[in-house]
Amino acid sequence: MSKNKSSESVKVVVRCRPLNRREESNGPAGSIVKMDIRLGQVILRNPRATASEPQKTFTFDAVYDANSKQRDLYDESVRPLIDSVLAGFNGTIFAYGQTGTGKTYTMMGAWMDPEKRGVIPNAFDHIFTHISRSQSDRQYLVRASYLEIYLEEVRDLLDPNHGNARALELRENPDSGVYVRDLTSCVCKSIKEIEEVMNVGNQARAVGATDMNEHSSRSHALFLITVECSQPGPDGRKHIRVGRLNLVDLAGSERQAKTGVQGERLKEAAKINLSLSALGNVISALADGRSSHVPYRDSKLTRLLQDSLGGNAKTVMVATLGPSPQHYDETLTTLRYANRAKNIQNQPRVNEDPKDALLREFQMEIARLRAQLHHRKWRSKQKKEQVDGEDWEGDGDEETDGEEEKAVEEYVKLEEQRLEREKQDIREDQFMLADEKQRLLGEKERMMGDLRKEQEATEQLTAKYKAMESKLLVGGKNIMDHTNEQQKMLEMKRHEIAEQSSSEREIQQQMLVQDEETVELRETFTSLQQEVEAKTKKLKKLYAKLQCIKAEIQDVNDEHVRSRQELEQTQNELTRELKFKYLIIENFIPPEEKNKIMSRLNFDTEEDQWKFQPLVPAESKSSQMKKRPASAVGYKRPISQYARVAIAMGPHSRYRAENIMFLELDMTPPNTASLDRSTDSEPNQSPSLDGSPTKEGGVRKSRSWCQTPKSITSSSSNVSLAACHTATPMTAQ
């Protein structure tokens, strides 16, 4: 099957779910999918076709019918892949098919029922059981992440703030390929912990399902497990192998036309299906083998699966089918997809000693903490032995960690007792001065404080060290499991059987192909008549095959036309929208403003979005804001050297740095006097204007409050001020 030693093809298996209750009640049409498990064949019946029309047959690496168990699929098709991941390969399993055909059931399954657990929980069991059974010189680090792609945005399902979180970016690294920046990654020490991670992520996804209109079937979910294993090599040094496992539950692959969406929703649907059509294009380009360009960059999904399709990974595709006659078209499309994917060649290799292995960082950190701890303990021990008057040298290295800890504890206790004793002695000393006593007691107190602080620091360091060490899993720890040899044997036997049946199937398939080719060689004809008969039979067979292929071509053409029509429809909608936007821009936005905006826009290929460049370059902005010109120091505004000299020479207002106008308010206090209306003076003439004295105790308005408009001149203001001054003493009398 493989082209060369290092390349192997994507393994494709097909699974068909049983008819559900609704489909059964629809009528006695029954299933349109028949499976030959022994040969790995799927036979599809067209419910609309005449009886004479031949049925379509597809051959795969394995097929699982409605009666298949979760365990069968796992043992036969998934187990070898997980074993490869544990050996340091990259591995991917993805479920592809129409909504409701059992993708989530296959990947996740019914979580509570051990019989119905899907690929993901079974893989957890497999990985941790393998670690517990491996040799004790191996160290493992297992990490898990969970993300989803919804509307072409990558979202972290383990982020507590999932709903409001920003979409994550994809980045590429020459060593580890495409990865998601800032993705949460949880170190898992047991099956329970990794199950918890899965449940947290599933809940985040389930919340979306209620909030966002059937979200789960519209998003692609990726559960990522990284297994790092450190093992001493023949050269005596520790080597690290990193296996990355992608477990992918894709969104439903049905045509959007079938869901009857239009307008805005159609655009959204186009985006949702963009990933899937991009996946289809990638599969076609890879399977074709002739096209030099593989459009991985067309969608987030294909970028994330870049290594799994045609790269450094072993890949299993599980195509899921529904048996119902209503969904014949989708079932056929799924089978065609799956059939095409069989031809993809991958080049898996063991990831040995990659630069970004976290295990190495952990090991180094543990070694550093260990050395620190050792040093602290050694120092305490040394002090203890000095206190005891013993020689500390000689028995140093032979003590175990436990003994060392005990020695340190003992030292701390003794030291505390000693300090307490000394304090008591000082208190009881009759000949010492009170000041001296206080000083010595204070010193002892300080020493005790230091001792406690040191002990606390050691405890903290020990806790950190232990926490760090506990994250690394060491092989050969699970004694219970070791004693359970029977179970191990059972699993091995199951594994053997699975391997045997798959190789049997492969041989059967090969035999079938060979049969067709060699039948002609074996035939010897005794008479011309016999030869004619045989050749006619063969011709009929070939003719049937030709008809099949013709029908296939017709189907593919129809399919092509249909998808083109759909694309054209979407394109028309988008063009109409674009024209509308253009109309607004051309008619309502001034050209210079438009040009300004255009010059600031640039396209970010990583995020697939247009972005505005900031108006002022970011780095100069802050300095501009903060810096004050040197010439302005001490003045309210920048001022030239010439002006400064001019100010010093004389009070020339031109060069004054300060305000030359005084704008303070003229706050004349109000004067009070009674208004005597019985006087002879004219009623509209203010009594104060002529400066005549008024009667005592009367109310009089201040001049500045009741001036006639005419009197507002600079001189009148002087007059009024003078008048006011003369009036005030009189009112005060």
Complex with ligand ADP: residue 337 or 411, whichever CB lies closer: 337
Smallest gap from residue 260 Cβ to ligand ADP (A): 18
Number of residues that bind ligand ADP (CB under 6 A): 13
Instruction: Output DSSP code: residue 74.
Output: I
CA-nearest of 368, 466, 455, 468 to 412 is: 455
**691 annotated to a ligand binding site:** no
- Give the contacts of 336 (CB within 8 A, at least 6 positions apart): 556, 559
Strand, helix or coil for residue 153: strand
Of 291-320, which residues contact ligand ADP (CB under 6 A)? 320
CA-nearest of 643, 89, 555 to 312 is: 89
Smallest gap from residue 83 Cβ to Mg ion (A): 27
Smallest gap from residue 597 Cβ to ligand ADP (A): 44
Give the torsion through C-alpha atoms of 330, 335, 338, 339, to 10 deg: -140
Smallest gap from residue 332 Cβ to ligand ADP (A): 17
| Residue 41 makes contact with Mg ion by CB under 5 A | no
Beta bridge partners of 239: 231
| Residue 104 makes contact with Mg ion by CB under 5 A | yes
101 interface partner picked from ligand ADP, Mg ion, none, CB below 5 to 8 A per type: ligand ADP
**40 annotated to a ligand binding site:** no
Of 37-96, which residues contact ligand ADP (CB under 6 A)? none
Complex with ligand ADP: residue 40 or 102, whichever CB lies closer: 102
Smallest gap from residue 104 Cβ to Mg ion (A): 3
| Residue 104 makes contact with ligand ADP by CB under 6 A | yes
58 interface partner picked from ligand ADP, Mg ion, none, CB below 5 to 8 A per type: none
62-64/11-16 β-pairing: parallel
| Residue 162 makes contact with ligand ADP by CB under 6 A | no
State both tokens at 125. 């069991």
Smallest gap from residue 319 Cβ to ligand ADP (A): 11
| Residue 17 makes contact with ligand ADP by CB under 6 A | yes
17 interface partner picked from ligand ADP, Mg ion, none, CB below 5 to 8 A per type: ligand ADP
Contact 512, 39 (CB under 8 A): yes
Number of residues that bind Mg ion (CB under 5 A): 2
Complex with ligand ADP: residue 97 or 311, whichever CB lies closer: 97
Of 196-225, which residues contact ligand ADP (CB under 6 A)? 217
CA 219 to chain centre: 14
Strand, helix or coil for residue 289: coil
18 interface partner picked from ligand ADP, Mg ion, none, CB below 5 to 8 A per type: ligand ADP
* Other CB atoms within 10 Å distance of the CB of residue 56: 19
Smallest gap from residue 118 Cβ to ligand ADP (A): 9
**476 annotated to a ligand binding site:** no
- Give the contacts of 489 (CB within 8 A, at least 6 positions apart): none
Smallest gap from residue 322 Cβ to ligand ADP (A): 9
**Maximum separation of any 2 CA atoms in the chain, in Å:** 160
Q: Which of 100, 295, 354, 476 binds ligand ADP (CB under 6 A)?
A: 100
- Identity of residue 270: A
105 interface partner picked from Mg ion, ligand ADP, none, CB below 5 to 8 A per type: ligand ADP
Whole-number Cα distances in Å, 381 to 3, 398, 416: 65, 14, 15
Smallest gap from residue 512 Cβ to Mg ion (A): 35
Strand, helix or coil for residue 671: coil
**100 annotated to a ligand binding site:** yes
Smallest gap from residue 171 Cβ to ligand ADP (A): 29
Complex with ligand ADP: residue 132 or 256, whichever CB lies closer: 256
**Which part of the chain contacts Mg ion (CB under 5 A), choosing from 101-109, 120-128, 607-615, 691-699?**
101-109
Q: What is the chain's Cα-based Rg?
A: 44
Strand ranges (DSSP E) for 439-532? 473-474
φ/ψ bin of 289: left (φ > 0), alpha (ψ from -120 to 50), beta (otherwise) = left
Complex with ligand ADP: residue 14 or 242, whichever CB lies closer: 14
Q: Which of 91, 208, 243, 252 binds ligand ADP (CB under 6 A)?
A: 252
252 interface partner picked from ligand ADP, Mg ion, none, CB below 5 to 8 A per type: ligand ADP
Q: Which residue is nearest to ligand ADP (CB)?
A: 102
Whole-number Cα distances in Å, 209 to 100, 110, 150, 152: 15, 18, 12, 17
- Identity of residue 279: L
Contact 675, 700 (CB under 8 A): yes
- Give the contacts of 240 (CB within 8 A, at least 6 positions apart): 228, 229, 230, 352, 353, 354, 357, 359, 360
Smallest gap from residue 249 Cβ to Mg ion (A): 6
- Identity of residue 477: K
**103 annotated to a ligand binding site:** yes
92 interface partner picked from Mg ion, ligand ADP, none, CB below 5 to 8 A per type: none
Strand, helix or coil for residue 702: coil
96 interface partner picked from ligand ADP, Mg ion, none, CB below 5 to 8 A per type: none
CA-nearest of 60, 75, 66 to 117 is: 75
Q: Which residue is nearest to Mg ion (CB)?
A: 104
**320 annotated to a ligand binding site:** no
Of 137-156, which residues contact Mg ion (CB under 5 A)? none
Whole-number Cα distances in Å, 158 to 148, 538, 687: 10, 61, 87
Smallest gap from residue 253 Cβ to Mg ion (A): 11
| Residue 101 makes contact with ligand ADP by CB under 6 A | yes
Smallest gap from residue 17 Cβ to Mg ion (A): 12
What does the chain come to in residues? 733
275 interface partner picked from ligand ADP, Mg ion, none, CB below 5 to 8 A per type: none
Lay out the site mask for Mg ion across 653-682 (x = CB under 5 A, - = otherwise). Answer: ------------------------------
**102 annotated to a ligand binding site:** yes
**Which part of the chain contacts Mg ion (CB under 5 A), choosing from 98-106, 197-205, 322-330, 395-403?**
98-106
Whole-number Cα distances in Å, 398 to 170, 377, 386, 403: 51, 14, 19, 10
Strand, helix or coil for residue 292: coil
Q: Which of 59, 99, 134, 334 binds ligand ADP (CB under 6 A)?
A: 99
User: What's the rounded Cα separation, in Å, for the pair 35 and 505?
Assistant: 13
- Checking 279-287 for CB contacts under 8 A at 24+ apart, the result is 279/250, 279/305, 280/337, 282/309, 282/310, 283/309, 283/337, 283/340, 283/341, 283/344, 284/340, 286/310, 286/343, 286/344, 286/345, 287/340, 287/341, 287/342, 287/343, 287/344
State both tokens at 131. 């670690």
| Residue 102 makes contact with ligand ADP by CB under 6 A | yes
**104 annotated to a ligand binding site:** yes
100 interface partner picked from ligand ADP, Mg ion, none, CB below 5 to 8 A per type: ligand ADP
102 interface partner picked from Mg ion, ligand ADP, none, CB below 5 to 8 A per type: ligand ADP
Q: Which of 105, 128, 150, 411 binds ligand ADP (CB under 6 A)?
A: 105
Instruction: Output DSSP code: residue 109.
Output: B
Instruction: Output DSSP code: residue 78.
Output: I
Residue numbers at the binding site for ligand ADP (CB under 6 A) = 17-18, 97, 99-105, 217, 252, 320
Q: Give the annotated binding-site residues.
A: 97-104
| Residues at the interface with Mg ion (CB under 5 A) | 103-104
Going by the annotation, the residues of the binding site for ATP are: 97-104
